[in-house]
Structure 1
Amino acid sequence: MLVRYSPWQELNALERHLNGLLGDTKVPSARFEKAFIRVPAVELQETKDAIHLKLELPGISAKDLDVQVTEDAVHISGERKSETKTEEKGTTKSEFYYGKFQRVIPLSTRVQNTNVTAEYKDGILNLTLPKTEQEKNKVVKVNL
């Protein structure tokens, strides 16, 4: 009899153990499985003229972000720094992640990386990546 090995079973057991340590506070499964890859959530929308990229970066100041755009990818890295607080008594339980992260987001079409516009407000980074003229005018003829 063959038994299929699943590493997720071990992670689920670890998650149950952590939930026991944290009391009634539950560690969300989807977030826990990504715990080893600390990256911001991304939303990507493609229009005729541009790619609009939205990244969720709560608790990170703009000075702690490094965003680089090539013609076919967006490279983002940064760091969420922990606040140093002095407490006399009590226990702190936290599911926050502090530390460095990096992510490369491949783009489906080539963009004019010299004309990118960015807006960072309330922990959301919005990038507008205009497509190259070749990509805007790209038409594919389908033979029947």
Structure 2
Amino acid sequence: MTNEVMNRNDLMRNFFNNDNWMNFPSLFEDNFMTDSALKTDIKENDHQYEVHVDMPDFEKKNIDINYQDNVLTVSGRRDSFNDHNDKDGDMIMSERQSGRFMRQYRLPAVDSNNITATYDNGVLQVTLPKLAKETETGHHIEIN
């Protein structure tokens, strides 16, 4: 019994002590969709991060991007679909989602003044250049 309780406590501690909580929608938002709607690829090299987010059917004016405290936040609103009503009762399946969406990504050491973004064919691309690493030249210190 003790092991079961400890395992449950470890599971909860591990869950809340990592970045999983950042991908949860706000409990206070109406019609807020989970991150499963914003599929993402992130590439990294020595100079930058490149984030690609699938955002089909979003209007560019309804997409917001913010970088603060090492976290990139991508949010947006997709209005309901015109053909989504079912006045004739003939809808047999509906998977497309509308509403507000948000994802957050922890990307440290970014030069926030030079972040760029483009939106083309339903894909948002955000390029986040990394801060230049300071090179320590070092010097000899004499002991007096």
- TM-score scaled by structure 2? 0.62
Residues 71 and 113 in structure 1, CA contact (< 8 A), matched pair in contact too: no
**Aligned residue identity for 1:53:** V
Residues 71 and 112 in structure 1, CA contact (< 8 A), matched pair in contact too: no
Aligned partner (choices 45, 62, 65) of residue 64 of structure 1: 62
Q: How far apart, in 2, do the equivalents of 1:118 and 1:99 lie?
A: 22
Residues 81 and 98 in structure 2, CA contact (< 8 A), matched pair in contact too: no
Match of 2:132 in 1: 133
- The sequence identity of aligned pairs, in percent, is 27
Q: How far apart, in 2, do the equivalents of 1:119 and 1:130 lie?
A: 15
How do 1:44-83 and structure 2 match up within 5 A? Answer: 44-70=42-68, 72-83=70-81
Deviation at 1:100, TM superposition (A): 0.9
Match of 2:114 in 1: 115
Q: What is the root-mean-square deviation of aligned Cα atoms in Å? A: 2.6
Where in structure 1 are there 5+ consecutive unaligned residues?
A: 5-35, 139-144
Deviations 1:25-67 (A, max 9, x none): xxxxxxxxxxx96221111111111111111111111111111
Where in structure 2 are there 5+ consecutive unaligned residues?
A: 5-31, 137-144
Q: How many residues align?
A: 103
Residues 78 and 98 in structure 2, CA contact (< 8 A), matched pair in contact too: yes
